[in-house]
Chains A and B, each alone.
Chain A
């Protein structure tokens, strides 16, 4: 991508223009409580942006056709959107973010505010800490690229073979143990329980021989020792397939038709790709949360704090609408909505808790004694904070915790334009009050949606319930920061699964029109099946747990006592894509060197079942059957196996099917 020098001059000019914008955005972000990594911005052109997107926001990645594919798709998709603004920031310290030179100033500002929030999330969410506190990602990925390039250039190694090997490993990139802190394969090996462990564990119990003999009969113990010994490993089903294969697997020599030890480069590539999988895992685990977080703060900064100049606002709103308003399910929109919901719920709870502490107010009489409209009115932010202007600036007290005394001084000296940037004279407390969610026009109905049930639930955990003599007094003590404070706690500890699990409510699902759908065998189309929060949650869990993929573990590394590999699909009621699973097995074979097997459960339906159900105007109930998929190096096969062999894999208490019961035959 060689560029004529005028281009460089252009970029230079744009970069200079943007410098103060970046500085201001980060000052504002800090005021709002965000704590991002330092961010370096790069001005790039459209092609470079697409290239960076293909490389996940980095300058250099190992050679692989998949980046080319992403680039191609990216280019096509973005043509469709007119090649507009794009937020790209990588998880690194310092972070690197990219601005497209052809974007309008409004877009650049939106990107910059968005990026600040992402980088805050990277820096502070604990799931990112599982990989490393300071990821040093650009250097790591570049060094991986160098290593793999050197293998490709090595005349002793076939370039195609390297690429194929990468393909084989990448099929399993989501088969890692993403809830564990990252460690190298060697360390991982040390942490894995071994055959000696059973005796150790028994010793730890510190039981007398006599008791031991009574609790565990010899036969069982022998069996345990045996299965954990040479005959069968791993002891526990292993989630980290790449580590397991890297440690115990073998290559396959096509010519000699036998398993052979891995080459060094093969082992090294497995290690590198595994490290990258662990590095990217947190981003995959926090899509809803992280994108919602960025969208939330972007809109606070751009819209509500006037970071977009008035002339830019229409342009910005239009862009926002395009991104968030596209029809259909949009995880980013879900994230933003849920964050806003959490903010509202927390603020509402804060109000209710205070009101309930007023003498004479209980959850029973709450709705009779409290006029929620009056409450809402008295919760409106203090006008001198909410609508500060150069004329009213003298009313601000530098001692007020909401006021940034230094900022105020500079504003008085005329160094700060308060009318344009009012946030500069406030602290976090003051800005939180300015953005108090319940007082916002779109949320004014939220407080009054409160039901007696809600109030009772809140009251249940309260003890100190007669502190205030009047509701007015209670409301004066309401903390305007409650919503934001809670949000900051959540962004530290949650991932998508825990976030959705904890905060999705019926109220939210109804307000935003979420529903579940299923495929109907009889009508051969997808139909709406439920609007119940429990069902919506189930489907979302399916979509966001384990990267939205089924869980497949190593069950036995010496299956049938013939060095074969046995994988097991932990069936949660939704079956595998069998065709793809077969294709994966073919590649796993290359990493194991001996035949590979996979136990799973499939749902079977005959044409007749469907026909019968169709006539009854209901849905057929499929039969669940145990299956063994196998690849022996030449042939793929799928055979029925007895139920007892898969029984342990079947989920007992989770059912991801949301079809109403009366639809079933």
Chain B
């Protein structure tokens, strides 16, 4: 027993700094924010009291121009396009490299490299690439289309009121497809060679090999990719700020929080933050539980 305690104490001591820091700066502040979101603190003065869930319901019922629902709609379009885009592109690239392409290492680096760029830096470049001028005023990609005589392809990009957020997802797809490719590649490599050989012996075509044998093995990889891209997209702030700045057209909840905070409406900003945390948690927590269970099983 005494021996046991001795091994237990240094371990706790070792992790205690990070535990304390996490408890104070993550969980403590989450608690503080939730508490704030339930009060009527709409300026810098101390709150007068608790208002229950008023700050939350007001976001949906009496926000001017339905601003919050609009930002959720923007976020939905962005997230869908971003997730589908990265998964499809990442899968295609992984398939190409998985076929033992020449100079695989080189291509892998090429595709993975955009991930090393910060969203702010790529946002500034894409802001220029997605210049919305058309015709003689065109710049960036529109200018290329214009120069090639493909004027009909010129697009208002992120300023389109309905599909602007889809254009906003393009830089994010460009950055993270390589990462998803790496995930898939690792997934493919993790499938035992025997499975492929057995399928080939049984006379499976290449299509059948992928469809029936390899893809089912990739389910955990796809799930990880969805979770990682999904939670990144829901917190998206820096890319949008550097492409369009804070404005109605491209407003998502994270940008809305920032705008609200700048105008000193602390309770409302807290409510939006907590809401955002909840929707991310709805996606992430079941995944964590799932991973935990399958790890215990194996």
Chains A and B form a bound pair: no
Residues of A within 8 A of B (CB): none
